[in-house]
Amino acid sequence: MQNPTCKHQWEMVNIRPGYILTETCHKCQLVSSYFSFEDYPPFEEYKDGEHFWNVMDSVQSVSFDLRCKECNILVSFNELSSLMLCTGCRDDCRVNDLILEYSSQNIALYVAFGFKPVNEKKQLSPEQISVLEDYYNQIRKSSGTSIRIVSFDMIDDLDSCTGEYIMDRHLLSLTPIENK
């Protein structure tokens, strides 16, 4: 995917507004999430096979790709559901161990999440996570701080995680901010 000879300069492209919907089947309790490009998120209950789906949550978001300005490589992020700033909630969590390791280095730790159910939907690859980390660090370069992004699969018990998800639940417009 990446050109090893290029010093990539990533830019966000193909910005598409929409909603991340989280649904549950009240029959089997399966939780599913997906990105919807509709102008208004669907809230109606519906049947799909053996499942009876109800919307639990709807969050406005954007879907995007990253493209290198130098070599024109395009990396899609269709699998990215959200990023979470890890705040260190459990001593037995591997992500918490990394927070302790990076705390003196001005490195913030984020966790990348894909869509649910994770065992049925394609998740972000390590290379996609690396590109995303590079992008955010390039735009933070002047701040003297950096970030590290890891996969959600480093968290053994997602239900006990208390990190801060990056989201805007009450965003009133789906119009993306224009690039400056």
Q: Quickly state the pLDDT bin for 180 (edges 50, 70, 90).
A: very low
Q: Write down the pLDDT at residue 47.
A: 94
SS (H, E, C) the chain: CCCCCCCCCEEEEEEEEEEEEEEEECCCCCEEEEEECCCCCCCCCEEECCEEEEEEEEEEEEEEEEEECCCCCEEECCCCCEEEECCCCCCCCHHHHHHHHHHHHCEEEEEEECCCCCCCCCCCCHHHHHHHHHHHHHHHHHHCCEEEEEEHHHCCCHHHCCCEECCECCCCCCCCCCCC
Above 80 in pLDDT, residue 171? Answer: no
Q: Flag whether 175 is in a domain.
A: no
* Count of domains forming the chain: 1
Tell me the per-residue pLDDT of 18-33, one tens digit each, with 9 for 90 and over.
999 999 999 999 999 9
Q: Flag whether 20 is in a domain.
A: yes
State the residue range of the domain holding 133.
10-165
Tell me the per-residue pLDDT of 128-137, one tens digit each, with 9 for 90 and over.
999 999 999 9
Tell me the per-residue pLDDT of 30-41, one tens digit each, with 9 for 90 and over.
999 999 998 888
Q: Flag whether 95 is in a domain.
A: yes
Q: Flag whether 176 is in a domain.
A: no
Query: Mean pLDDT across the stretch 76-92?
Result: 89
Q: Flag whether 60 is in a domain.
A: yes
